Amino acid sequence: MHIVSTIPQARALFEVLPRPLGFIPTMGALHEGHLALVARARDESAAVGASVFVNPTQFAANEDLERYPRDLQGDCVKLQRGGVDVIFAPDAQAMYPDGFSSFVEVGEMGTRFEGAIRPTHFRGVATVVLKLLNIVRPDVLYLGQKDAQQTAIVRRALRDLDLPVAVAIVPTEREPDGLARSSRNVYLTPEERAAAPTLHRALQALRLAMAGGRAKADAIAAARALLSPLAELDYLDVVDADSFEPIEELRPPAFVIGAARFGATRLLDNLWIDG
Ligand code: AMP
């Protein structure tokens, strides 16, 4: 396995890997969720690349960029065990040199839900993903369903900008109590950790109530009641999977989505509704 930090080194190595090449972009602090993407890519590809980069442009000034968990050495061990061939781990200066000024504008989908709370987040995500794809040039990009709005926005951007890469969406890995695995779970206090699975339970209750024919507003009210008193809800809704527009019926393909703060930590979760 190779670990590279500059763009020319990365280009030279990725260029000569066998095809199809699968690629997994990450911000490191890797857990079983990331490794599910690696395993799927390993199964489906002749070679696998991954990136570890805490992307500053997707964090706002008041967010957790500085304290975001970092463990490059541990990440490399996990990626090597998972069968990754090349790891690209640049620093911010390599990705955003002085004078950097071009961004991917993601449009209205990037203004809803996560985008309403984090207005520049998806612009930063789409920009770094496109940069990484231009450096790595993979055949398949592996993304986690955990970040559902991110999958919709990236897929849209790749279609709109004609990037020749397929996208594979991998189901969310969860803790045994249902909490979606996330690098940010380490921020939770023991009380918040105990309360955090109520977000997943609220999503399941919302899905069940709507599948049973209840109107969305009623179903959301019933689901909210299942949240721990420690949870401050940002949103709970049902959206079309491609446009991320709210819909009134559980019409597939759709997501039941939710986000809540437990103390200083924001957690996201969703359920996929297919046919
Ligand atoms: P991140 O390091 O948080 O940017 O995540 C890198 C990739 O891993 C993204 O495509 C995420 O959606 C995916 N991912 C994060 N958590 C999970 C999880 N619990 N299950 C599956 N994929 C995940």
| 181 in a structural domain | no
Same domain, 158 and 212: no
pTM: 0.97
From the CA of 27, how far away is ligand 1's center (Å)? Answer: 9
Closest C-alpha to ligand 1, atom 22: 144
3-state secondary structure of 265: strand
Last residue of a domain, one of 145, 170, 195: 170
Same domain, 101 and 22: yes
* Token pair of 236 as six digits: 């709970």
Phi, psi of 13 (to 5 degrees): -75, -45
At 136-150, the pLDDT tens digits run 999 999 999 999 999
Active site residues: 34
At 43-78, the pLDDT tens digits run 999 999 999 999 999 999 999 999 999 999 999 999
d(C-alpha 163, C-alpha 157), whole Å: 9
Amino acid 140 reads V
At 178-195, the pLDDT tens digits run 999 999 999 999 999 999
At 208-259, the pLDDT tens digits run 999 999 999 999 999 999 999 999 999 999 999 999 999 999 999 999 999 9
- Name the domain count of the chain: 2
- Cis peptide upstream of residue 253 (ω within 30 degrees of 0): yes
From the CA of 213, how far away is ligand 1's center (Å)? Answer: 32
Closest CA to 270 of 160, 165, 155, 143: 143
Model confidence at 18: pLDDT above 90: yes
Q: What angle do CA 119, 57, 108 make, to 5 degrees?
A: 30
From the CA of 10, how far away is ligand 1's center (Å)? Answer: 22
Last residue of a domain, one of 170, 202, 228: 170
| 25 in a structural domain | yes
At 21-42, the pLDDT tens digits run 999 999 999 999 999 999 999 9
Same domain, 164 and 201: no
pLDDT band of residue 206 (cuts 50, 70, 90) is very high
| 61 in a structural domain | yes
d(C-alpha 130, C-alpha 144), whole Å: 17
Exposed/middle/buried for residue 41 (C-beta within 10 Å: 0-12, 13-18, 19+): buried
Ligand 1 atom index nearest CA of 27: 2
Q: What angle do CA 170, 238, 201 make, to 5 degrees?
A: 70
Same domain, 252 and 205: yes
Same domain, 19 and 148: yes
Ligand 1 binding pocket (C-beta < 6 A) is: 26-27, 33-34, 36-37, 143-144, 146-147, 170, 172-173, 180-183
| 176 in a structural domain | no
What is the CATH classification number for the domain harbouring 239? 3.30.1300.10
CA distance readout (Å), 184 to 37, 67, 150, 187: 18, 10, 17, 6
Q: Could you tell me the residue range of the domain that residue 254 belongs to? A: 186-273
